Amino acid sequence: MTTRAQGQRDVALSSLPFRGIAINDDTLNTAAITVYASDSGILFINKNTATTTYTLPVVGDCKGKIFFFYSYVANDLVITGGTTDVMVGGDTSAVVDADKVTLGGVIGGWAIITGDGTNYYALTGTGTWTASG
């Protein structure tokens, strides 16, 4: 077995700090948001009054990228991997190779999504997140 050296990492995360907030509220109020690789470091706050789907970029473009999501409303929040079978996570069914993770209508639900170039990893909190697809 190989021993991991201190400080060694498989994917070096960018040195970008937290870069800002994007709010989907009554002025934007869209049910489908496209997320770009250049959005790494942004907190997406969903205030849309219906189920909202955030579609991530192709996972191959997101090695070392990190995206933050927060639900302000009691509506479903869906995060898709941009490509099928690349999402790992969900707290009720920790599925490997899922297409998406879904928060079932919980105010205060949040997720941190990070990519390694092959998969997205969903680190989820508050509420029940399910992986499917």
**Is there a contact between 40 and 63 (Cβ–Cβ < 8 Å)?**
no
Task: Indicate yes or no: pTM above 0.85.
Answer: no
How far the first Cα of the chain sits from its last, in Å, is 34
Q: What are the pLDDT tens digits along the chain (133 aa)?
A: 455 555 555 555 555 566 788 888 766 668 899 999 999 988 998 998 889 999 999 999 999 999 999 999 998 999 998 777 788 876 655 556 678 888 888 889 999 999 999 989 988 887 666 666 6
Would you state the pLDDT for residue 56?
94
| 125 beta partners | 110
> What's residue 65's pLDDT?
92
Rounded Cα distance between 74 and 105, Å, is 4
By C-alpha distance, which of 51, 107, 56 is closest to 77?
51
What local confidence, expressed as pLDDT, does residue 48 receive? 87
Fold type of domain 20-132:
Jelly Rolls (2.60.120)
Domain ranges of the chain: 20-132
Structural tokens at position 63: 């090695």
Closest CA to 128 of 92, 77, 97: 92
